[in-house]
Amino acid sequence: MVVSKMASQCVNDKNIIDAMQADKELKELRKKLYPHFAKYRYTYNFSWLGRPIIELNEDVMLMQEIIFRVKPDLIIETGIAHGGSLIFSASMLELLGGDGKVLGIDIDIREHNRKEIEKHPMSKRISMIEGSSIDENVANQVFDFAKDSKRIMIFLDSNHTHEHVLKELELYSPLVKIDSYVVVFDTGIEDMPEDMYENRPWSKGNNPKTAVWEFLKNSERFEIDRDLESRVLFTVAPDGYLKCVKD
């Protein structure tokens, strides 16, 4: 069997990754294909340990990588939906051992979803708060929950408007310390066709990516982890993997 020179290279070979990112034909194909993912709700095709996770597989791989690297003792998630992401985060912390916890926040935790999450084997690591993530009372509860945690990671995946995500970043980013992450999901809305989200309050020019750009103008503590993002062909969070580089 003939093995190509590129295929025989070790994983995470920077030359291969750089070549992939410089491939203009590949970038054009990716640009054309990505809107179809959204059209057919592709991220709804998968579950994690029995609960719909609503994430691209590539993002799940990146998330497990940074969780293993950072080894947080608390992961805060805004946006719960069916609970698959909470279960995923809890299972990663279970593999790491220790007493790591996951805190999920959602303005509307549907009763059937709550029941499924609470009866899951990973529920022992999961707590939930119902309310808007940018509500002062909710934020106070989050900070109180996090007061004894030393390594915190945050996933933002709730309301996708610019105003809401920017407020989340401003509220919760101080909890994240050097070498940990805030991951802002659905920044890819900015790269979609103008008419993709006609029935939503977010759109091109008003979405998580524009919030990230605005946030980074005034923050010296975070930068986009380009090396991490460069290793996947598809992500719902382009420009959204924010690494804390300064305490």
pLDDT digits (tens, 9 = 90+) for 178-195: 999 999 999 999 998 888
Residue 5 lies in a domain: no
**101 in a structural domain:** yes
Query: Does some domain include residue 61?
Result: yes
Q: Is the pLDDT of residue 4 over 60?
A: no
Whether 3 is covered by a domain: the verdict is no
Q: What token pair was written down for 7?
A: 């295929």
Residues 6+ apart with CB under 8 A from 161: 201, 202, 206, 207
Assign 2 a pLDDT band (cuts: 50, 70, 90). Answer: very low
> 88 lies in a domain?
yes
Domains held by the chain: number: 1
Query: Do the domain assignments include residue 6?
Result: no
Q: What is the pTM of this model?
A: 0.93
Dump pLDDT digits (tens) for 199-246: 899 999 999 999 999 999 999 999 999 999 999 999 999 999 999 999
Q: Give per-residue pLDDT as tens, 122-162.
A: 999 999 999 999 999 999 999 999 999 999 999 999 999 99
Match 């996951």 to its residue by tokens. 102
Q: Is 7 part of a structural domain of the chain?
A: no
The domain that contains 43 carries what CATH number?
3.40.50.150
What is the residue range of 224's domain? 14-244
